[in-house]
């Protein structure tokens, strides 16, 4: 590295440090920073553009451009050179800017005078904050050292967490981490909750980005890397005998911890004046930016490892992180970028009020756990982890998929009213608990609950469910680091049956694959996992686990009834094979002298369109059928249930889908085979009454939905509703929803 540049950079950072330490108002400080940079770099212009919102940048300070343009000039991301830097998050170095592709002339700034342009992104750990620009009259390309120096300065700017304060007219607005913010996301689980933020992985704050003494910072880095290396070695030693994949990951860590390139880049940044922690964070920001660009999944995983390693190093250097000593609030709302089911379960059911994830998906494991706990869950909730601080007030509106962070008082007040109204409504549903779900025209519908964890079973009593229509057995597998043993499973299934007493429990055999990847299962590299090797397909190809699982079920149900169903059956033959497998195990248990269940019912989930059209024998051979609407709908409409963009595009009450449901109802009736519906739609009151009007006599749903669904069934004349549905279908409507809703909510007509 060029020594002169190195000391220039240190001098510049030294001046910035002094400016940051000054007790001046925000805007004044930002202005001063632009002056310092332009003087130090020998350029006429230095400007700072910051994000106003996710799409718009605003000129917030400038030395050299027209001062009148500050807080006036705005551009969209991708627009002009500045917008392009923001979008690509890479520097643009143009000797002749007006001739560069994408240049946009902004008359109000007076920038036509300047030829050379260098813009670098201001970002913090993958969170884009703005763009730092220098311009000069003289046409020249900036050197690599200058670009590098600007990146270091941008890093220091990014650490000024109050950057958000400079947006808008003057510096009147509240700083980024103090202002109110809302995030719209996908609904993983409905419900409303009010509480305080608890970050799953609290952000590490680098409070001192500029170092006084590079030698001292180098020493800190050496010590921290040594500590890191020892801890990785220790982890490796304890994991050595454990599973191979874990060891591989740790080996990769060790490789990075010893990687010269990674370390050299950090050292170079320290030499330029950054503190050790800021230099590590700068590398981490670069890694995250790369991670977003790399299409190769393997490489992305390795970058993810590197990111994780930087995180560990940062925690060592700052002494912060998980063990920050912060106290969990009484009403915690967990905020995380993503979380696995095991980690979520560690928090325990009673503790959390809601979960908000930046990533995740509606059908993710965490979503299944949150649903099991009946706490609201929002997924894809924007950049909330970088905005939220531990202890912030947060409102989760699981009905509309909105999270209000540090809300204004008026929002809090109306949210309180909403929660009170919901509570009052729940009270009304409680009074229905022991009443049957029977329509005024005498149709009785069985309402059951879905479950997957032992902890959910108390809901059987409180919700008034008439049994468990779907017990998702994979949760037990997802929350462990190894395949559960037969004895453990048998014990758990037995406890489930004990708890259910006389009520029926329908165990679904293991439904893994697609998004439900077991921690100890080798992830399949499949182009379309939802259409891939999953559920019954795995069970039939590699029957070991399913055999063990059904043995556990048979033992758990010794001397009582056993009800089992197979997931994701696409054709009759698969159902026959799975059933045979089960009865072979029954025979084996009998030969071994074990007590057998008194009755065994074997059914199938109907969640592929092909099964709806299966030979009539399927309908007669199955003891019962349960429609898995979540999957059936995604395959019927060819719309990925995990893709928020297309998930809601096709209405469940779409005429085509209802025609399919009606055909299944008819074929089951002809065969005399009981039918139920256990997808999420069964828990939505309007959908539920439509299914009932089409002839469905059993629905299985999350416990919290039983009250609202029962309430509507008890008020809806299903024969009249059927007529409304038929008329809407005859009219050529795409969905019967408008007609149904109009009918249901017309005075004296129910609801």
By the criterion CB under 6 A, which residues form the site for ligand PEP? 470, 472, 511, 607, 628-631, 678-679
Q: What Cα–Cα distance (Å) separates residue 132 from each residue in 148, 203, 387, 474, 485?
A: 13, 24, 21, 50, 58
* Residue nearest Mg ion, CB atom distance: 631
The residue (of 276 and 612) whose beta carbon lies closer to Mg ion is 612
The residue (of 385 and 676) whose beta carbon lies closer to Mg ion is 676
**Residue 506 Cβ vs Mg ion, minimum distance, rounded to whole Å:** 14
678 contacts which partner out of Mg ion, ligand PEP, none, CB within 5 to 8 A by kind?
A: ligand PEP
Instruction: Take residue 116 and report the two structure tokens written for it.
Output: 């050379």
188 contacts which partner out of Mg ion, ligand PEP, none, CB within 5 to 8 A by kind?
A: none
The residue (of 310 and 626) whose beta carbon lies closer to Mg ion is 626
**Nearest Cα to 575, choosing from 591, 564, 561, 559?**
564
397 contacts which partner out of Mg ion, ligand PEP, none, CB within 5 to 8 A by kind?
A: none
Q: What Cα–Cα distance (Å) separates residue 160 from each residue in 5, 205, 212, 272?
A: 24, 10, 18, 19
Instruction: Report d(CA 100, CA 612) in Å as an integer.
Output: 59
**Residue 475 Cβ vs Mg ion, minimum distance, rounded to whole Å:** 14
**Residue 629 Cβ vs Mg ion, minimum distance, rounded to whole Å:** 9
282 contacts which partner out of ligand PEP, Mg ion, none, CB within 5 to 8 A by kind?
A: none
Buried b (16+ CB within 10 A) or exposed e, 64-100: bbbeebbbebebebebbbbbbbbbebebbbbbebeee
The residue (of 607 and 681) whose beta carbon lies closer to Mg ion is 607
Structural contact between residues 14 and 210, judged by C-beta atoms closer than 8 angstroms: yes
**Residue 474 Cβ vs ligand PEP, minimum distance, rounded to whole Å:** 8
The residue (of 236 and 540) whose beta carbon lies closer to ligand PEP is 540
The residue (of 316 and 686) whose beta carbon lies closer to ligand PEP is 686
**Residue 516 Cβ vs ligand PEP, minimum distance, rounded to whole Å:** 8
With 0-12 / 13-18 / 19 or more C-beta atoms within 10 angstroms meaning exposed / middle / buried, residue 196 is middle
**Nearest Cα to 38, choosing from 63, 65, 6?**
63
**Nearest Cα to 434, choosing from 467, 462, 459, 458?**
462
**Residue 630 Cβ vs Mg ion, minimum distance, rounded to whole Å:** 5
Determine the distance from the C-alpha atom of residue 287 to the mean position of all C-alpha atoms in its chain, rounded to a whole number.
Answer: 21
Where does this chain bind Mg ion (CB under 5 A)?
607, 628, 631
3-state secondary structure of 333: strand
The residue (of 84 and 641) whose beta carbon lies closer to Mg ion is 641
335 contacts which partner out of Mg ion, ligand PEP, none, CB within 5 to 8 A by kind?
A: none
**Residue 376 Cβ vs Mg ion, minimum distance, rounded to whole Å:** 22
The residue (of 316 and 470) whose beta carbon lies closer to ligand PEP is 470
Instruction: Take residue 347 and report the two structure tokens written for it.
Output: 């928090």
**Residue 673 Cβ vs ligand PEP, minimum distance, rounded to whole Å:** 18
The residue (of 130 and 629) whose beta carbon lies closer to ligand PEP is 629
Query: Which contacts qualify for 27-30: CB closer than 8 Å, 24 or more apart?
Result: 27/61, 27/166, 27/170, 27/171, 30/60, 30/61, 30/166
**Residue 677 Cβ vs ligand PEP, minimum distance, rounded to whole Å:** 8
The residue (of 283 and 608) whose beta carbon lies closer to Mg ion is 608
**Nearest Cα to 189, choosing from 408, 362, 308, 33?**
362
Q: Give phi and psi for 553, each to the nearest 5.
A: -65, -45
202 contacts which partner out of Mg ion, ligand PEP, none, CB within 5 to 8 A by kind?
A: none
Q: What Cα–Cα distance (Å) separates residue 607 from each residue in 49, 618, 629, 630, 677?
A: 51, 14, 6, 8, 10
**Residue 349 Cβ vs ligand PEP, minimum distance, rounded to whole Å:** 20
The residue (of 276 and 565) whose beta carbon lies closer to ligand PEP is 565
Instruction: Take residue 69 and report the two structure tokens written for it.
Output: 């343009």
CA dihedral angle for residue 250, residue 256, residue 259, residue 263, rounded to 10 degrees: -140
**Residue 263 Cβ vs ligand PEP, minimum distance, rounded to whole Å:** 46
Q: Give phi and psi for 236, each to the nearest 5.
A: -65, -40
472 contacts which partner out of ligand PEP, Mg ion, none, CB within 5 to 8 A by kind?
A: ligand PEP
589 contacts which partner out of Mg ion, ligand PEP, none, CB within 5 to 8 A by kind?
A: none
């Amino acid at each position: 590295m060029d020594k002169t540049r190195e000391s220039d950079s240190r001098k510049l950072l030294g001046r910035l440090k002094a400016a940051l330490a000054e007790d001046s108002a925000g805007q004044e400080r930002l202005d001063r920073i632009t002056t310092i940079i332009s003087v130090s770099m020998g350029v006429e212009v230095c400007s700072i553009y910051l994000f106003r919102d996710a799409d718009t940048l605003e000129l917030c300070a400038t030395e050299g451009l027209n001062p009148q343009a500050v807080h006036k000039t705005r551009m969209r991301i991708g627009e002009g050179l500045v917008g392009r830097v923001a979008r690509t998050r890479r520097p643009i170095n143009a000797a002749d800017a007006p001739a560069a592709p994408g240049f946009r002339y902004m008359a109000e700034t007076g920038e036509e005078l300047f030829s050379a342009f260098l813009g670098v992104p201001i970002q913090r750990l993958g969170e884009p904050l703005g763009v730092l620009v220098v311009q000069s009259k003289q046409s020249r390309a900036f050197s690599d050292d200058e670009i590098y120096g600007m990146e270091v300065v941008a890093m220091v700017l990014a650490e000024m967490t109050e950057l958000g304060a400079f947006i808008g007219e003057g510096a009147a607005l509240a700083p980024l981490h103090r202002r109110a913010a809302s995030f719209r996301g996908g609904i993983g689980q409905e419900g409303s909750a009010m509480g305080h933020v608890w970050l799953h992985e609290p952000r590490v704050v680098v409070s001192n980005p500029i170092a006084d003494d590079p030698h001292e910072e180098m020493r800190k880095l050496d010590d921290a890397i040594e500590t890191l290396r020892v801890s990785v070695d220790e982890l490796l030693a304890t994991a050595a005998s454990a599973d191979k994949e874990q060891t591989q990951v740790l080996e990769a860590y060790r490789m990075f911890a010893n990687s010269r390139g990674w370390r050299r880049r950090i050292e170079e940044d320290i030499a330029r004046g950054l503190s050790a922690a800021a230099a590590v964070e700068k590398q981490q920001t670069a890694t995250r930016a790369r991670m977003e660009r790399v299409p190769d999944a393997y490489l992305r995983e390795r970058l993810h490892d590197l990111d994780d390693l930087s995180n560990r190093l940062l925690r060592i250097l700052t002494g912060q992180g998980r063990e920050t000593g912060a106290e969990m609030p009484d009403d915690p709302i967990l905020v995380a970028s993503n979380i696995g089911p095991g980690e979520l379960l560690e928090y325990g059911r009673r503790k959390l009020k809601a979960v908000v994830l930046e990533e995740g998906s509606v059908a993710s494991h965490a979503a299944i756990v949150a649903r099991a706990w009946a706490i609201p869950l929002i997924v894809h909730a924007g950049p909330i982890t970088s905005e939220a601080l531990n202890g912030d007030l947060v409102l989760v509106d699981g009905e509309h998929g909105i999270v209000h962070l540090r809300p204004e008082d008026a929002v809090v007040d109306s949210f309180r009213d909403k929660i009170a109204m919901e509570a009052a409504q729940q009270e009304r549903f409680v009074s229905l608990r022991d009443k049957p779900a029977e329509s005024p025209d005498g149709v009785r519908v069985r309402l059951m609950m879905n479950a997957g964890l032992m902890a959910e079973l108390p809901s059987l009593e409180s919700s008034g469910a008439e049994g468990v229509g779907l017990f998702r057995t994979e949760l037990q597998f997802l929350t462990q680091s190894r395949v559960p043993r037969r004895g453990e499973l048998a014990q758990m299934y037995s406890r489930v049956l004990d708890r259910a007493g006389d009520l029926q429990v329908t165990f679904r055999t293991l439904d893994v694959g697609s998004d439900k990847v077991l921690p100890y299962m080798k992830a399949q590299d499949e182009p379309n996992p939802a259409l891939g090797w999953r559920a019954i397909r795995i069970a039939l190809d590699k029957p070991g686990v399913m055999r063990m699982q059904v043995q556990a079920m048979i033992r758990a149900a010794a001397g009582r009834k056993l009800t089992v169903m197979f997931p994701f059956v696409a054709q009759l033959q698969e159902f026959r094979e799975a059933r045979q497998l089960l009865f072979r195990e029954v025979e084996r248990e009998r030969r071994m002298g074990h007590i057998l269940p008194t009755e065994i019912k074997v059914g199938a989930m109907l969640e592929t369109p092909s099964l709806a059209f299966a030979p009539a024998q399927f309908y007669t051979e199955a003891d019962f059928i349960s429609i898995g609407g979540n999957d059936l709908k995604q395959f019927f409409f060819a719309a990925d249930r995990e893709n928020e963009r297309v998930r809601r595009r096709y209405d469940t009450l779409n005429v085509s889908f209802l025609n399919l449901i009606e055909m299944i109802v008819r074929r089951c009736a002809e065969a005399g085979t009981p039918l139920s519906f256990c997808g999420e739609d069964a828990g939505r009151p309007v959908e539920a009454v439509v299914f009932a009007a089409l002839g469905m006599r059993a629905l299985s749903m999350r416990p919290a939905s039983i009250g609202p669904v029962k309430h509507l069934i008890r008020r809806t004349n299903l024969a009249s509703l059927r007529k409304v549905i038929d008329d809407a279908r005859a009219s050529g409507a795409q969905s019967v929803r408008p007609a149904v809703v109009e009918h249901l909510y017309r005075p004296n007509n129910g609801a």
